[in-house]
Amino acid sequence: MEDLKNIKSVQSLLMLTYGLIPIVAGADKFCNLLTDWSQYLNPTLASMLPFSAATFMMIVGVIEIIAGLLVFFNPEKGAYLVCTWLVLIALSLIASGKYLDVAVRDLAMAIGAYSLAKLSGPKIAKD
């Protein structure tokens, strides 16, 4: 029983983390209080966009807010979405050859999101 309580506690902490952080980071794409998010955009990708990097970052922000909300309403699916999103960000940073420290951090965070998804998935009944 204590193990189940610990698992639920960890799951709740991960859900708060992977729900709130994407929402906050997504909202910040509109005001750039935490950082200038467009600096993380791969220059090759930026050159292919039909609009400004700032507009792209606002679109990214909306996606991040949706992903964070999804974590609260459907933790398994939301966590898989956040995990995938973080891996894609990391791959883009690695491809640009810049901000490799952020790429490593995002990959570590993706593992945490994946862990939340696994904890939130269907439970196997014990015989």
97 burial (CB, 10 Å; 0-12 / 13-18 / 19+) is: exposed
Tokens of 113: 């999101």
Smallest CA-to-CA distance from 93 within 51, 39, 52 is with: 39
Q: Does the structure show a pLDDT above 80 at 31?
A: yes
Contact call for residues 82 and 113 (beta carbons, < 8 A): yes
Q: pLDDT, tens digit, for every residue of 55-91?
A: 999 999 999 999 999 999 999 999 999 999 999 999 9
- What's the predicted TM-score (pTM) here? 0.89
Binning pLDDT at 50, 70 and 90, where does residue 127 land?
very low
Domain ranges of the chain: 2-120
